[in-house]
Amino acid sequence: MDDHCASFSALLIGLAEVNALVWVFGVDRFLRVAQKMLGTFPLVAPLWKVIWVFVTPTILAVSSSSSSSSSSIFRCFAYQH
pLDDT, position 46: 85
Pick out the chain residues at pLDDT < 70. 1-6, 42, 67-81
pLDDT of the residue at 21: 85
Listed in sequence order, the residues at least 6 apart from 45 whose beta carbon sits closer than 8 Å to its beta carbon are: 31
Q: Which residues pair with 75 in a beta bridge?
A: 80
33 φ/ψ angles, rounded to the nearest 5 degrees = -65, -40
* Of 75, 58, 56, 54, nearest in space to 66 by CA: 58
pLDDT value at residue 1:
45
